[in-house]
């Protein structure tokens, strides 16, 4: 794109602009430059300026649009998002916007010339700490530096870092002895700082998921985690004002209690981003805005400054109106009216920098008098919607007049296809890779580029065309990845006190905790499990791998097992039998389809490649893999039956549409079956749009079509005039006959009834079938069923550019009104979730009374289906503003205009429900809001409080997120295997069910299934994790789980390294614990059931004798002579005499570990 920037920089207009800059003209007005060319101007200025550049847009969507446009020229822009000017207080909220803003402030303090910052005007409105104060919040640390760990802890609190047990997300820190973990907001990984006395001994980055160190660092700089940075002077000023206000006793009782909490936190030196609203108490006049972080040599560029002025005025007016309501009800302080500068003050804070105003039209600026005016002449390029003959006609005219044209396409194939068309038309065309593009008069330069829209720069005689103009679609957007949160679908290892667990031999019990018991003078930790009838089971921690979290039915519906009875064995036997019946049916179906001969589709043709290239986003790796798996199936003569699984918004529909197009290209018809009329309409609209440039005839068969229309569609299907039909169960009717059906796509098959499923079965025979589901399927189940069920999983999350701002707050009518009106003011719609059918109508009426200007309606699952569908259709058509509904909000629907969700009584809902509900918003180019509300002044039960704490964690995708995902996976497993299997899964828990399923599938495949038995180790040695080494019980339990999972020597050393890395040098009992765990793992591998220690020997007994071959016995005898003696009877064992008679316990254990390692080596020779 350099050539285009250079062409702009060579224009007379740009030279005039830079001349004024060199003459130190403080205000320059640029007229006639449209918004599509603004990105190019910013890129040119970035190369020319000696200072930094702040670009201010009237609103968030225009700011992000400019960011997209500029990113096509350069990737270095820093985006400053707007934050909510909330006067309300929340129990918890998400941090993503705060992190971005703090990172921007820290970047500004670095004073790097040439940096570009882009922001909507609202992002600049908040009063913040002056640069001198904020810069004192930077803490440089390096190896060898002297600093007390207690002082660093104090500093982190002052900078807004929260102390946690485990550091998993930004702005958190934890302390374990002389080790401090901290997650700086501007780093992609947290860091581990290890102290030796008062000296920093080492600094290492580490993985927040595994908690393992990654690499050594010489130094790190810790930056504030909030815009609210405390120091002694600020704290004193705020506390003085708070004390004065609290003494007046004229505040709302709840708000006064909150201020007491704020006062307490600040007095103890803790800052929080929720406290920044109290900055006006510290800075009466000496406050700053983000503009004050720019200097005299920097430039502030205002896009459409009249609208920037108007938007800022609206922001101030809106805040002050809100503030007035809060002040009247005693829920804010008088000083907080100064939280944002007035209109005149705001623009005064810009005047120290150079100002450039940019407008498409010639206007007089309301806030600045221009010292120089520059007039560009630009035009938007007209769209061609893929009509190449129109494009070629315009190019012939432009090139004939000596213009230069650049065509920037988003992919190599698009570039090559367009270049070929232009060359065939006889045009002078140069084809370039990204980077070194040349522009020549009378020539078209075709390249790969990610500019979001084209324009014409008249004085330079240059035209830029992009995907948007040529094809009528935006450029392929790169799928931006957020900070890694680990795998979304993963094994579930968390144990919490009171949760249900499954013991392999004893069944379902309740986890009570970890007890340390002394038996025969030896200390050991035991997992205490409660069973029915007040019975308890103590499981040694090294046997913790025999325990699994129970995940299945709701906890209150689960019956605990009774110890000493056969009921658990009977339950397992019953489930095993059900699994056998289910898998046999699956295997029979799979075998029958393998033998069947269907249509082998042709390989992709040029149209297919062109069609796929028109997709306006960059496919995720998972999407591409799934597309290949489906095409491979379709090109095989065996009929396809594949399940495609991925959450809403993960791109399943596009994968399915490519299969549809492939089928139609081979002359086959496609039936797309969906569970609801609204989904049918949505898929129909999507396919009509995607197929619009190709001779593909699509129709919809549902009750939205009249009888006459339906008859015509059915006739067209019969004679082959229709290629694709999308519809509800209507397409399963007997009167619907296809001329040549080749592909059936079923969306959410589990939502169809038994009668419809029978019709689906008949339709399936001999044709390719693709089933879609939005509920995640557990990876373990996917692996278990591989070979008897074809599955494709999309696990890559969607683009995460517009995070959902999540707040956990008390129910408050005034706040509800504020949130709903804000969304409606920006042209959006709102979901209000109220999960009680009996009073949903009353709640809707109450809301309508509060907001007569807003249009409300309500929906719930007990409504007739057609009424519900009509209502949802009306909502999607924006016939009303707010839908009050139970949790039935349609999972598959794409309602991009709904970007605020309020969830009433969130503390009564499960995390998976909340995860799915929150996912209904945030599907557009706007920041979305989710408000999780709990009842005001309600005395919360212990369970509800725990749940709220989990929801609080959920705002940051912590462990609560994993629980939610697991809950969803179980539902997905039930959907995949059928409701009866879901019942069996609940009987024994998901993990046990998966294990039994995997064993049976291995049997079916003829693979060996090893007999399960428990190894008992009778070795008198202290093996536990001391309280003073790992004080936190959750950490300890996590380590015990990992140690119990040791399988070989590599695992043992990895875990040893991890514990040392996280907690410091291993005490002797922990080292012993690792040795015993490794001995047990080797014993299991060798088929050893018992290891018993004697005074100078050890006896090792085997379950069977097949693991002890003659060769091994001979080699062991040769190696150890008379010190080892084998007994190869029906119950084989060997006796091993230690190398010295009076070895200490640790040496005995080490010697046994070495012995078993050698026997394993002999076994594998």
Per-residue pLDDT, 274: 80
Q: By mean pLDDT, which of 440-444, 970-974, 1082-1086 is the weakest?
A: 970-974
In eight-state DSSP terms, residue 361 is S
Q: Which two tokens stand for residue 647?
A: 């959450």
In eight-state DSSP terms, residue 545 is G
Rounded-to-integer distance, Cα 858 and Cα 872, Å:
10
Report which of residues 890 and 70 the model is more confident about: 70
Residue 506 — very low, low, confident or very high, per pLDDT cuts 50/70/90? very high
Taking residues 869-888, what's their average pLDDT?
Answer: 90
Reduce the DSSP state of residue 674 to 3 states and report it. coil
Domain 804-972 has CATH 1.10.760.10: no
- Compute CA 299 distance to the chain's CA centroid, rounded to the nearest angstrom: 36
Provide the edge-to-edge strand list for the sheet that holds 1124-1127: 1016-1018, 1088-1093, 1097-1102, 1133-1137, 1124-1127
Per-residue pLDDT, 362: 67
Rounded-to-integer distance, Cα 1118 and Cα 1124, Å:
9
Q: What H or E segment, with its residue span, contains residue 311?
A: helix 305-328
Token pair 């050890």 in the structure block, residue: 1098
Per-residue pLDDT, 229: 86
Per-residue pLDDT, 1142: 83
Distances (CA, A) of 909 to 281, 554, 968: 39, 12, 14
Count of helices and strands (H, E) across the chain? 35, 45
Q: By mean pLDDT, which of 144-158, 161-175, 639-653, 689-703 is the weakest?
A: 639-653
Rounded-to-integer distance, Cα 674 and Cα 599, Å:
24
Strand 741-747 and strand 804-810: the pairing is: unpaired
Instruction: Compute how many other C-beta atoms are within 10 angstroms of the C-beta atom of residue 325.
Output: 14
Reduce the DSSP state of residue 90 to 3 states and report it. coil
Residue 1093 · residue 1019 · CB < 8 Å = yes
Taking residues 749-778, what's their average pLDDT?
Answer: 76
Rounded-to-integer distance, Cα 461 and Cα 624, Å:
40
**Which of these, 912, 918, 928, lies nearest to 968 by C-alpha position?**
912
Distances (CA, A) of 1094 to 518, 1019, 1020, 1136: 20, 9, 10, 10
**Which of these, 871, 1, 111, 863, lies nearest to 406 by C-alpha position?**
1
Across the strands, what pairs with 194? 179, 202
pLDDT at position 468 over 90: no
Residue 683 · residue 704 · CB < 8 Å = no
Rounded-to-integer distance, Cα 842 and Cα 837, Å:
10
Taking residues 809-819, what's their average pLDDT?
Answer: 89
Backbone angles phi, psi at 43, to 5 degrees: -65, -40
Taking residues 349-362, what's their average pLDDT?
Answer: 88
Instruction: Compute how many other C-beta atoms are within 10 angstroms of the C-beta atom of residue 736.
Output: 19
Q: Which two tokens stand for residue 858?
A: 């309500």
Taking residues 97-124, what's their average pLDDT?
Answer: 88
Residue 415 · residue 69 · CB < 8 Å = no
Taking residues 866-885, what's their average pLDDT?
Answer: 90
Residue 885 · residue 858 · CB < 8 Å = yes
Q: Which two tokens stand for residue 699?
A: 């129709």
Q: By mean pLDDT, which of 308-317, 891-900, 968-977, 1084-1093 is the weakest?
A: 968-977
Taking residues 188-215, what's their average pLDDT?
Answer: 93
User: 804-972 and 1042-1164: same fold?
Assistant: no
In eight-state DSSP terms, residue 543 is G
Q: Where do the structural domains in the chain lie, given as residue ranges?
A: 2-126+285-375, 139-222, 378-471, 596-794, 804-972, 1042-1164
pLDDT at position 675 over 70: yes
Token pair 């009875």 in the structure block, residue: 565
Rounded-to-integer distance, Cα 462 and Cα 404, Å:
5
Per-residue pLDDT, 280: 84
Token pair 């299997």 in the structure block, residue: 981
Residue 697 · residue 651 · CB < 8 Å = no
| Superfamily name and number for 1042-1164 | Transcription-repair-coupling factor, D7 domain (3.90.1150.50)
Q: Could you read off the pLDDT of 16-57 as tens digits, one per residue?
A: 999 999 999 999 999 999 888 999 999 999 999 988 999 999
Residue 972 — very low, low, confident or very high, per pLDDT cuts 50/70/90? low
Taking residues 1100-1123, what's their average pLDDT?
Answer: 84
**Which of these, 575, 642, 644, 577, lies nearest to 991 by C-alpha position?**
575
Per-residue pLDDT, 493: 45
Per-residue pLDDT, 368: 83
3-class SS letters over 816-882: HHHHHHHHHHCCCEEEEECCCHHHHHHHHHHHHHHCCCCCEEEECCCCCHHHHHHHHHHHHCCCCCE
pLDDT at position 1009 over 80: no
Q: Which two tokens stand for residue 849?
A: 């009374």
Taking residues 878-902, what's their average pLDDT?
Answer: 85
Length of the chain: 1165
Domain 139-222 has CATH 3.40.50.720: no
pLDDT at position 1110 over 90: no
pLDDT at position 936 over 80: no
Of the options 3.30.470.20, 3.30.465.10, 2.40.40.20, 3.40.50.11140, the CATH number for the domain spanning 378-471: 3.40.50.11140
Instruction: Compute how many other C-beta atoms are within 10 angstroms of the C-beta atom of residue 597.
Output: 9
Return mean pLDDT, the chain.
85
Rounded-to-integer distance, Cα 174 and Cα 955, Å:
20
Backbone angles phi, psi at 1031, to 5 degrees: -70, -30
Q: How many CA atoms lie within 13 A of 1016 on its CB side?
A: 7
Across the strands, what pairs with 793? 645
Q: Which residues of 1142-1154 are buried (b: 16+ CB within 10 A; e: fewer)?
A: eeebbebbbebbe
pLDDT at position 489 over 60: no
Q: Could you read off the pLDDT of 544-567 as tens digits, one per residue?
A: 878 888 877 666 678 899 998 888
pLDDT at position 958 over 50: no
pLDDT at position 960 over 50: no
User: What fold, for 2-126+285-375?
Assistant: Rossmann fold (3.40.50)
Residue 495 — very low, low, confident or very high, per pLDDT cuts 50/70/90? low
Rounded-to-integer distance, Cα 970 and Cα 997, Å:
14
Reduce the DSSP state of residue 91 to 3 states and report it. coil
Residue 678 — very low, low, confident or very high, per pLDDT cuts 50/70/90? confident
The CATH classification number of 596-794 equals: 3.40.50.300
Taking residues 571-577, what's their average pLDDT?
Answer: 90
pLDDT at position 480 over 50: no
Residue 91 · residue 335 · CB < 8 Å = no
Per-residue pLDDT, 482: 40
Taking residues 271-289, what's their average pLDDT?
Answer: 81
Q: How many CA atoms lie within 13 A of 861 on its CB side?
A: 9
Across the strands, what pairs with 79? 118
Q: Which long-range contacts (CB under 8 A, 24 or more apart) does 611-616 make?
A: 611/658, 611/661, 611/690, 611/694, 612/658, 613/411, 613/413, 613/414, 613/417, 614/386, 614/471, 614/473, 614/690, 614/693, 615/476, 615/654, 616/467, 616/473, 616/474, 616/475, 616/476, 616/477
DSSP 620-660: PHHHHHHHHHHHHHHTSSSPPEEEEEE-TTSSHHHHHHHHH
Per-residue pLDDT, 783: 55
**Which of these, 567, 831, 873, 829, lies nearest to 704 by C-alpha position?**
873
Backbone angles phi, psi at 1000, to 5 degrees: -70, -40
Report which of residues 883 and 95 the model is more confident about: 883
Given CA atoms 1141, 1147, 1151, 1152 in this order, what sign does their dihedral have?
positive
Q: Which two tokens stand for residue 443?
A: 């020539």
Residue 45 · residue 84 · CB < 8 Å = no
**Which of these, 166, 77, 65, lies nearest to 118 by C-alpha position?**
77
- Compute CA 513 distance to the chain's CA centroid, rounded to the nearest angstrom: 32
Given CA atoms 1082, 1088, 1089, 1094 in this order, what sign does their dihedral have?
negative
Distances (CA, A) of 596 to 592, 746, 868, 1033: 6, 21, 42, 57
Residue 951 — very low, low, confident or very high, per pLDDT cuts 50/70/90? low
pLDDT over 70, % of the chain: 88
Distances (CA, A) of 153 to 143, 150, 529: 17, 5, 37
Q: CB-based burial of residue 1157 (10 Å sphere; 0-12 exposed, 13-18 middle, 19+ buried)?
A: middle
Cα angle value 813/817/823 (rounded, 5°): 145
Q: By mean pLDDT, which of 499-513, 829-843, 981-995, 1141-1155 is the weakest?
A: 981-995
pLDDT at position 11 over 50: yes
**Which of these, 338, 243, 236, 247, lies nearest to 282 by C-alpha position?**
236
Strands (E), 282-363: 299-303, 354-359
């Amino acid at each position: 794109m350099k050539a285009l920037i250079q062409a702009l920089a060579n224009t007379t207009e740009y030279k005039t602009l830079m001349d004024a800059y060199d003459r130190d003209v403080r205000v320059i007005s640029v007229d006639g430059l449209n918004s599509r060319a603004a990105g190019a101007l910013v890129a040119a200025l970035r190369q020319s300026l000696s200072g930094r550049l702040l670009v201010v847009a009237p609103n968030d969507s225009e700011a992000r649009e400019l960011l997209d446009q500029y990113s096509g020229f350069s990737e270095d822009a820093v985006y400053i998002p707007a934050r909510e000017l909330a006067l309300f207080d929340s129990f918890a909220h998400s941090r993503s916007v705060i992190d971005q803003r703090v990172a921007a402030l820290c970047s500004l303090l670095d004073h790097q010339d040439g940096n570009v910052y882009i922001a909507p005007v609202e992002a600049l409105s908040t009063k913040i700490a002056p640069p001198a104060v904020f810069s004192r919040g930077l803490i440089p640390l390096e190896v060898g530096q002297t600093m007390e760990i207690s002082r660093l802890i104090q500093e982190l609190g002052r900078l807004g870092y929260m102390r946690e047990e485990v550091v998993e997300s930004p702005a958190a820190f934890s302390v374990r002895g002389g080790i401090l973990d901290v997650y700086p907001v501007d780093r992609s990984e947290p860091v581990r700082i290890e102290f030796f006395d008062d000296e920093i001994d080492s600094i290492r980055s580490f993985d927040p998921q595994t908690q393992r160190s990654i690499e050594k660092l010489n130094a790190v700089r810790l930056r504030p985690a909030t815009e609210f940075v405390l120091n002694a002077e600020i704290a004193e000023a705020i506390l003085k004002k708070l004390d004065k206000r609290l003494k007046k006793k004229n505040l709302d009782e709840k708000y006064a209690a909150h201020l007491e909490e704020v006062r307490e936190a600040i007095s103890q030196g803790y800052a929080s981003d929720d406290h920044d609203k109290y900055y006006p108490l510290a800075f009466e006049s000496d406050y700053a805005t983000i503009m004050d972080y720019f200097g005299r040599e920097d430039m502030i560029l205002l896009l459409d400054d009249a609208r920037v002025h108007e938007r800022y005025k609206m922001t101030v007016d809106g805040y002050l109106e809100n503030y007035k309501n809060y002040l009247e009800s005693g829920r804010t302080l008088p000083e907080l009216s100064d939280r944002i500068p007035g209109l005149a003050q705001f623009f005064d804070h810009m005047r120290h920098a150079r100002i450039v105003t940019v407008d498409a039209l010639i206007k007089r600026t309301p806030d600045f008098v221009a010292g120089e005016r520059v007039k560009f002449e630009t035009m938007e390029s007209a769209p061609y919607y893929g009509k190449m003959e129109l494009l070629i006609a315009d190019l012939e005219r432009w090139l004939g007049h000596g213009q230069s044209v650049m065509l920037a396409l988003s992919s190599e194939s698009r570039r090559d296809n367009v270049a070929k068309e232009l060359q065939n038309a006889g045009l002078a065309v140069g084809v370039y890779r990204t980077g070194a593009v040349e522009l020549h008069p009378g020539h078209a330069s075709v390249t790969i580029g990610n500019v979001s829209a084209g324009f014409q720069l008249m004085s330079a005689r240059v035209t830029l065309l992009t995907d948007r103009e040529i094809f009528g679609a935006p450029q392929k957007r790169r799928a931006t990845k957020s900070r890694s949160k680990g795998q979304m679908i993963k094994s579930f290892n968390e144990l919490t006190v009171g949760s249900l667990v499954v013991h392999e031999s004893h069944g379902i019990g309740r986890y009570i905790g970890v007890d340390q018991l002394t038996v025969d003078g030896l200390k050991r930790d035991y997992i205490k499990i409660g069973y029915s009838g007040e019975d308890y089971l103590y499981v040694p921690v090294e046997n913790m791998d025999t325990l699994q979290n129970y995940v299945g039915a709701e906890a209150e519906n689960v019956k605990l097992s009774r110890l000493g009875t056969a009921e658990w064995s009977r339950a397992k036997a019953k489930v095993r039998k059900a699994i056998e019946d289910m898998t046999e049916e699956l295997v029979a179906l799979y075998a029958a389809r393998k033998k069947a001969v269907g249509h082998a589709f042709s390989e992709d043709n040029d149209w297919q490649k062109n069609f796929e290239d028109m997709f306006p986003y960059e496919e995720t790796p998972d999407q591409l893999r799934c597309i290949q798996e489906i095409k491979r199936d379709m090109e095989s003569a065996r009929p396809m039956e594949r399940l495609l699984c991925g959450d809403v918004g993960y791109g399943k529909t596009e994968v399915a549409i490519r299969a549809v197009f492939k089928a139609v290209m081979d002359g086959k018809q496609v039936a797309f079956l969906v569970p609801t009329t609204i989904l049918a309409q949505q898929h129909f609209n999507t396919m009509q749009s995607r197929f619009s440039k190709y001779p593909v005839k699509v129709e919809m068969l549902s009750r939205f079509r009249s009888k006459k229309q339906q008859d015509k569609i059915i006739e067209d299907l019969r004679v082959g005039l229709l290629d694709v039909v999308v519809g509800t169960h209507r397409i399963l009717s007997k009167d619907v006959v296809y001329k040549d059906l080749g592909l059936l796509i079923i969306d959410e098959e589990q939502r169809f009834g038994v009668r419809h499923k029978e019709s689906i079965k008949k339709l399936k025979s001999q044709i390719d079938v693709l089933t879609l589901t939005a509920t995640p399927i557990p990876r373990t189940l996917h692996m278990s069923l591989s070979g008897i069920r074809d599955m494709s999983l999309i696990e890559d999350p969607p683009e995460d550019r517009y995070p959902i701002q999540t707040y956990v707050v008390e129910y408050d009518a005034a706040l509800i009104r504020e949130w709903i009106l804000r969304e409606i003011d920006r042209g959006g719609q709102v979901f209000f979730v109220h999960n009680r059918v009996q009073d949903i109508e009353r709640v809707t009426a109450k809301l309508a009374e509060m907001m007569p200007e807003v249009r409300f309606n309500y929906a719930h699952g007990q409504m007739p289906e057609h009424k519900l569908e009509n209502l949802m259709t009306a909502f999607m058509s924006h016939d009303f503003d707010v839908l009050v509904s139970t949790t039935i909000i349609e999972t598959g629907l794409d309602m991009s205009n709904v970007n605020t969700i309020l969830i009433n009584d969130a503390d009564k809902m499960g995390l998976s429900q909340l995860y799915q509900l929150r996912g209904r918003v945030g599907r557009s180019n706007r920041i979305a809001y989710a408000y999780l509300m709990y009842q005001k002044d309600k005395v919360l039960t212990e369970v509800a409080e725990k749940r709220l704490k989990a929801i609080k964690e959920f705002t940051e995708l912590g462990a609560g997120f994993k629980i939610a995902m697991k809950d969803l996976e179980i539902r997905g497993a039930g959907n995949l295997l059928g409701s009866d299997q879901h019942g069996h899964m609940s009987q024994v828990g998901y993990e046990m069910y998966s294990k039994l399923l995997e064993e049976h599938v291995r049997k079916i495949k003829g693979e060996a299934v090893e007999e399960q038995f428990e190894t008992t180790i009778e070795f008198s040695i202290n093996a536990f994790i001391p309280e003073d080494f790992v004080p936190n019980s959750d950490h300890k339990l996590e380590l015990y789980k990992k140690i119990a999972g040791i399988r070989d020597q590599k695992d043992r050393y990895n875990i040893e390294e991890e514990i040392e890395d996280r907690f410091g040098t291993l005490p002797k009992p922990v080292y012993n614990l690792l040795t015993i765990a490794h001995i047990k793992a080797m014993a299991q591998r060798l088929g050893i059931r018992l290891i018993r220690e004697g005074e100078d020997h050890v006896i090792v007994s085997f379950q069977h004798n097949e693991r002890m071959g003659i060769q091994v016995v001979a080699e062991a005898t040769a190696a150890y002579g008379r010190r080892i003696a084998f007994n190869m009877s029906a119950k084989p064992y060997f006796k091993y005499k230690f190398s010295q008679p009076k070895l200490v316990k640790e040496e005995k254990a080490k010697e046994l570990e070495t012995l078993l390692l050698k026997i394993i080596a002999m076994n594998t020779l």
